[in-house]
Amino acid sequence: MVAVLAVVALGAAGCGGGDDAAASTAGASGSGPSGTLTVFAAASLTDVFTDLGQQLEGDHDGLTVQFNFAGSSALATQLTQGAPADVFASANGTQMSVVTGTDLADGDPTVFTSNVLRIAVPAGNPAGVTGLADFARDELALAVCAPEVPCGAAGEDVFAAAGVTPRPDTQEEDVRAALTKVELGEVDAALVYATDVAAAGDRVEGISFPEAEGVVNDYPLCTLAAAPNPEAARAFVDLVLSEEGQQALEDAGFRAP
Amino acid sequence: MSLAAQVLVRRGPVTVDVALEVADGEVLAVLGPNGAGKSTLLRVLAGLLPPDGGRVAVDGTTWDDVAARVHLPAHRRPLGMVFQDHLLFPHLSVLENVAFGPRTRGASRAAARTAAAAWIGRVGLDGLGGRRPGQLSGGQAQRAALARALVGDPALLLLDEPLSALDARTRLAVRAELRRHLTDYAGSAVLVTHDPVDAMALADRVVVVEDGRVVQAGTPSDVARHPRTDYVARLVGLSLLPGTADGLTVRLDGGGVVAVAVPADGPVLVAVRPESVALYLSRPEGSPRNAWPLTVAGATPHGATVRCELDGQVPLLADVTATAFAELGLAPGSPVWAVVKASEVAVYAR
Amino acid sequence: MRRARTPAPLLVPAALAVVFLVLPLAGLLIRTPWSQLGTLLTAPGVGQALRLSLVSATLATAVSVVLGVPLAWVLARSRARGRAVLRALVTVPLVLPPVVGGVALFLVLGRQGIVGSWLAETTGITIPFTTTAVVIAETFVAMPFLVISVEGALRAADVRYEDAAATLGADRWTTFRRVTLPLVAPGVAAGSVLCWARALGEFGATITFAGNFPGTTQTMPLAVYLALQRDPQAAIVLSLVLLVVSVATLLLLRDRWLGRGAAA
């Protein structure tokens, strides 16, 4: 795993123009990027990226950052249908490969962060959920993600690794929907990402479980070959990869890649 | 007295304040212009509109008494109503339409259908019971509506402009038939119409309503002979004379002969409007076909004209200007020649 | 001949409307992977989702008729004050994003909801994540279509027929049953079709309030949406199935049901 990450990280130097670009961005911080930057990003990045975008706008006069937050597959579809964008940040490698596979990416993608699964329970954990095994209890109201979406696929992997046959009441269309049902107290537990638990605040508690470490979900990003504003795109990628960007991601529950 | 009503309704600009009494077997026509409050009065009698004051009683049973807070809703009143444009239910067959009343009033399906079929026969619609109202002619539909109103043998029959939606020819036929059924009908009937011919041909008594008030009441001939207002005179002046037609000639039951412009056959009513009658002191020249020597029996001035009541073989009403009346020196008992063009004489089958 | 009867100012926009409405459908047909059709159609869960969709949309329509027609009558005929407010409230589900509708249903009928918690305590019944929840969500979203359609029909109907019925001894209930309802039957039919179609396509409120589980709550639109996440080709095929079945059903009903109404 470490080896794989290292290779991707090396490749990442190419994506976004590498050191030269980083240097030029740093050197030209006075004038620097301007115009409009369009970022397509996975919905789970909404809070962190919005903050980072505002920061970038503050650093560069005349720069406007626009976001399109949605499911990674929807974004990939939009990009392959010709939607104009500068940066694409996906919540998984599959949808990123849809974009790279059609030569839309400028160079190879960089894994900039990752996410692990966590059990979300309503505040106070009324059903006394302690681990993955509770997902086999028929009397509980349980939510997982549908196997068609990334968090559902990851969930199937952890259940298989733990040898648990889950008995969910619903297979949610995305992780936020699963979390909403926890927040409303309509389910006793849901299998979601650590970042979602972090974002949900006081109404939701997270329960870690050892099997999660076996299924880490990497987030790759890249600039796009047809980027209307490549300079701003490089600046944004650099900000995400900077110490500051990584700290913001960690605060939101993401893990270092 | 079978129907006794004293009705007060305020509706917009018109206040209807009318008292009526109708005996069993009697037909009362409420005659008046559009907007006079006739239909409002009928809706109150039907129970569709609660009055603001007064009372309505039928056969000694109180249907409305505002002071005593009594209001019998429409569906509890044993009445039948015929509407201007028949209002047969379009989704039901003619038979089902006629059987509707008996069914809702508790008859068994079989009994309701038997009664309905009998009435469909009585109004001359045998064999049409299975049709939808949309497949009937206007006259057939109004006959079916009459059957629907009469089938339950109601204590009160209300007719709201029953003939005015029909074309002129159909109207004659349906009017004659309606007259027959009204003669047979044992309860009280109230007929609302703006057509004096309907009132004269169908009613035993007439009340003329103007601006929500009764301006005159009496038998049709009484009202016609002694109109109390100009409006009534214009409205109810028609002379209706029964006779037997043979082509262009009608021999009156009273003995006179009237020439007409439209050929007819069999029993008819001859109608002459008073303003189409001209009066002369001697037989006019040019020998008009309709010239009768009559006697002035009475004269009632209204406005600038005088209505003259003429007796003889062809009893007529004639309107002449006050000036002409004076110039001719007419007085009760005066002999006079009355002349009417054949084209001014209307003929109705009876 | 037909052209001659349509005024030119109507013809062009009408043609544009047809193009606008039909082209996306054509796109769907063109992109359908016909060669994989058999495999995709016989995939497990497709028949299940289709059956669930048809059953729940039909039940939702039935509930909407039973509750919505009386409501339409109240809106059209009652002289009670606050009718305008009531009408505005009733049409809220039309403008409410369905997902929000789903959350709102949770707040009332959910395990923690105002009515739902009481229901769970007294009877042990919980509604969310059941087929009942699917029907409730679809009814919530689709019933306003029926109510508005029937209310329009009631307003257009000649109330004098009701007067005639009253003079024939029919009380208000009998009049409603035997006269008013048959008179507005075409409006009820049209409203039911709208309602059924809307229920069949319902996604947001259903996936929120009823969740998504194959066999119990996964209707066709949910299956289509999830298929889109993994295999857009399969999603196209599923959409096509839903489309064909709904259009066929509506055509069939039109012949049998609306056809008779139009002839009357």
Question: Per mean pLDDT, which range of A49-58, B1-10, B138-147 is the poorest?
Answer: B1-10
Q: Which stretch of DSSP H or E encloses residue B240?
A: strand B239-252
Residues of C in contact with B148 (CB under 8 A): 168
More confident residue, B103 or B346: B103
What is the spatial distance between Cα B168 and Cα A22, in angstroms, rounded to a whole number? 99
Give the lowest-confidence range in A173-177, B44-48, B223-227. Answer: B223-227
**Given B74, B92, B132, which is nearest C166 (Cβ)?**
B74
Given CB atoms, is C136 within the 8 Å cutoff of chain A? no
Domain residue ranges in chain B: 3-236, 239-349
pLDDT in the model for residue B169 = 78
pLDDT at B109: 95
How many Å lie between the alpha carbon of C136 and the closest alpha carbon of chain B?
34
| 8-state DSSP, A255 | B
**CATH topology assigned to domain B239-349:** OB fold (Dihydrolipoamide Acetyltransferase, E2P) (2.40.50)
Question: Residue C202 sits in which domain range?
Answer: 49-98+129-263
In a domain, C63, yes or no: yes
Structure tokens at B8: 């007060």
User: Confidence class of residue B273 from pLDDT cuts 50, 70 and 90?
Assistant: confident
Q: Is the pLDDT of residue A214 over 90?
A: no
Model pLDDT, residue C244:
86
Task: Give the CA dihedral B167, B169, B175, B181, nearest 10 degrees.
Answer: -110
Q: What is the CATH number of the domain that holds C150?
A: 1.10.3720.10
Per the CB < 8 Å rule, is C169 touching B87? no
Q: Which helix (H) or strand (E) holds B18?
A: strand B14-22
Under the banding of pLDDT at 50, 70 and 90, the label for residue A29 is: very low
Q: Does A186 touch chain C (CB under 8 A)?
A: yes
Is the pLDDT assigned to residue A18 strictly greater than 70? no
Cα-to-chain-centroid distance, residue A45: 5
DSSP-assigned beta bridge partners for residue A119 = A191, A207
Instruction: State the nearest Cα–Cα gap between B71 and chain C, in angstroms.
Output: 14
Indicate the DSSP class of residue C122.
H
**Considering only CA atoms, which of C90, C248, C259, C87 is closest in space to residue C185?**
C259
pLDDT per residue as tens digits for the range C141-154 = 999 999 999 999 99
- Over residues B98-111, the mean pLDDT reads 95
pLDDT band (50, 70, 90) for residue A22: very low
| C-chain residues near B90 (CB < 8 A) | 183, 264
Domains of chain A: 2-114+218-251 (3.40.190.10), 117-214 (3.40.190.10)
Any chain C CB within 8 A of the CB of A143? yes
Mean pLDDT of chain B: 90
Q: What is the mean pLDDT of chain C?
A: 88
Choose from C212, C216, C218, C220 for mutation: most chain A CBs within 10 A: C212
Q: What is the mean pLDDT of residues B161-189?
A: 89
**pLDDT bucket at A17, cuts 50 / 70 / 90:** very low
Count of domains in chain C? 1
Any C CB within 8 A of A94 CB: no
Amino acid occupying residue B232: V
Q: Which residues from chain B sit within 8 angstroms of residue C177, using beta carbons?
A: none
The neighbours of chain B, by the rule of 3 or more Cβ pairs under 8 Å, are C
Q: Which of A90, A186, A187, A188 to mutate to test the interface with C (most CBs of C within 10 A)?
A: A186
Give the span between the Cα atoms of A237 and A21, in whole angstroms: 11
- CB contacts, 8 Å: C264 with chain B: 90-91, 132, 134
Residue A7 has pLDDT above 70, yes or no: no
Both tokens assigned to B328 = 């001719």
DSSP state string for A224-240: BTT-S-HHHHHHHHHHH
Is residue C19, in this structure, part of any structural domain at all? no
- Residues whose CB falls within 8 Å of the CB of residue C8, separated by 6 or more in sequence, listed in order: none
**Mean pLDDT, to the nearest integer, of C89-105?**
91
Assess whether chains A and B touch, using the rule of 3 or more C-beta pairs within 8 angstroms. no
Q: Are A36 and A64 in contact (CB under 8 A)?
A: yes
CATH architecture of residue range(s) B3-236: 3-Layer(aba) Sandwich (3.40)
Q: Share the mean pLDDT of chain A.
A: 85
List pLDDT tens digits, range A81-130.
889 999 999 988 888 999 998 888 898 899 999 999 999 999 999 999 99
Which residues of A are part of a known binding site?
44, 72, 175, 193
**Range in A49-53, B44-48, C22-26, C69-73 with the lowest mean pLDDT:** C22-26
Q: Please name the residue that has the structure tokens 């259009």.
A: C247
A115, A219 in Cβ contact below 8 A? yes
Nearest to B104 among C160, C174, C183 (CB): C174
The Cα B146–Cα B88 span in angstroms is 10
pLDDT at A28 over 50: no
* Banded pLDDT at C127 (limits 50, 70, 90): very high
Q: Is residue C21 part of a domain?
A: no
Confirm whether C73 is domain-assigned.
Answer: yes
Backbone conformation region of residue A227, classed left if phi is above 0, alpha if psi is from -120 to 50, else beta:
beta
Under the banding of pLDDT at 50, 70 and 90, the label for residue A31 is: low
Query: Are B75 and C164 within 8 A, CB to CB?
Result: no
Amino acid (one-letter) located at C222: L
Concatenated DSSP letters of A80-133: HTT---SEEE-SSHHHHHHHHHTT-BSS--EEEEEE-EEEEEETT-TT---SGG
For residues C21-34, average pLDDT: 86
- Radius of gyration of chain A, Cα coordinates, nearest whole angstrom: 19
pLDDT at B350 over 80: no
pLDDT tens for each residue of C153-174: 999 999 999 999 999 999 999 9
Q: Residues of A comprising the binding site for molybdate? A: 44, 72, 175, 193
Size of interface B-C (CB pairs under 8 A): 72
- Report the alpha-carbon distance of residue A151 to residue A210 in Å, rounded: 17
Are A184 and C213 an interchain contact pair (Cβ–Cβ within 8 Å)? Answer: no
pTM for the full model? 0.76
Instruction: Give the pLDDT score at C210.
Output: 93
User: Left if phi > 0, otherwise alpha if psi is -120 to 50, otherwise beta: which for B223?
Assistant: alpha
Q: Higher confidence at residue A223 or residue C45?
A: A223
| Tokens found for residue C173 | 């209930």
The answer on pLDDT for B116 being more than 90 is yes
- Is C36 domain-assigned? no
Quick one: pLDDT band at residue A26, thresholds 50, 70, 90?
Answer: very low
- C166 belongs to a structural domain: yes
* Amino acid C256: pLDDT: 65
Residue A122's pLDDT is 95
B339 DSSP β-pair partners: B278, B291
Q: What is the DSSP string of B75-144?
A: GGS-EEEE-TT----TTS-HHHHHHHHHHHTT--HHHHHHHHHHHHHHTT-TT-TTS-GGGS-HHHHHHH
Domains B3-236 and B239-349 share a fold: no
Q: What is the pLDDT of residue C216?
A: 92
Task: Please tell me which chains touch C, using 3 or more CB pairs under 8 Å as the contact test.
Answer: A, B
CA distance B8 to B6: 7
**Is pLDDT of B329 > 80?**
yes
Q: Is C42 a domain residue?
A: no
Q: What is the mean pLDDT of residues B137-151?
A: 95
pLDDT at position B16 over 80: yes
Which pLDDT score, from 0 to 100, does residue A8 have?
Answer: 39
User: Residue A153 and residue A47: Cα distance in Å, rounded?
Assistant: 24
pLDDT interval class at A24 (50, 70, 90): very low
Query: C210: which chain A residues are within 8 Å (Cβ-Cβ)?
Result: 170
Is residue C128 less than 8 Å (CB to CB) from chain A? yes
Residue C34 pLDDT greater than 90, yes or no: no
pLDDT for A103 equals 87
Whether residue B1 has pLDDT greater than 60: no
Torsion C113-C116-C120-C125 (CA) sign: negative
Rounded to 10 degrees, what is the CA torsion of B28, B34, B37, B40?
Answer: 80
Structure confidence by residue, pLDDT tens digits, B239-254 = 878 899 998 999 998 8
Judged by 3 or more CB pairs under 8 A, whether A touches C is yes
Answer yes or no: do B74 and C163 touch at CB < 8 A. Answer: yes
**Chain B residues contacting C, CB < 8 Å?**
43, 46-48, 73-77, 79-81, 83, 87, 89-92, 100-101, 104-105, 132, 134, 148-149, 152, 158
For residue B75, give the nearest of C158, C160, C166 by CB distance: C166
- pLDDT band of C258, cuts 50, 70, 90: low
Q: Highest-confidence range of A145-159, B125-139, B243-257, C35-49, by mean pLDDT?
A: B125-139
